[in-house]
Amino acid sequence: MTDEVQGIGKRSEHKPKYPMAVTAASIMWIAFGCLLLLGVAFAMVAVVTFGAGDGPARLILVLLPVLISSGFAVAFIFVGVQTVRRKARGTIGNGIGSIALGVLLYYVPMLRPSDSDLGAASRGFPFLAVLLVAAGLLALVGRNGYKGWREAQKAQGATDTA
């Protein structure tokens, strides 16, 4: 009998499963990006409807945060889509960035002066902050599972082409 028939030296058929924590984190990132884009859309409508105030300098002060927010929204949607499509290289950077931005977002309303223009818009910050921190924690929890899944996919691809 050969070793293959007896099962000696055979590879385990156990394939790591894609971690659900990473899937949940990626959906949360997409949701955050969409909510942020929705907020940007409302801000743009408000600027067009009510005006930006006194002159072009005020317009720049209103539009700059809108443009920065748009960049963050697109980045989070991109990260979420890449991860949910299982194309991301890892989750540690996205997880840590998500937690850091979530903590920052939680404390922004506390740092602003009372006469700030943020007003009602800042009331949603704690919800968005919790969403980001939760997504970041899920990404970190699922990190090792995702790494194992990626390595198994690479190994399977290498054996499929041989």
Q: For residue 12, is pLDDT > 60?
A: no
Burial grade of 94 (CB within 10 A; 0-12, 13-18, 19 or more)? buried
Residue 98 domain flag: yes
Regarding predicted confidence, which is higher, 53 or 79? Answer: 79
Q: What is the residue-averaged pLDDT of the chain?
A: 81
Selected residue with higher pLDDT from 91 and 106: 91
- Check pLDDT > 90 for residue 66: no
Does 119 map to a domain?
yes
Structural domain tally of the chain?
1
CA distance 160 to 26: 29
Q: Give the predicted TM-score (pTM) of the model.
A: 0.77
Host domain of residue 65: 19-150
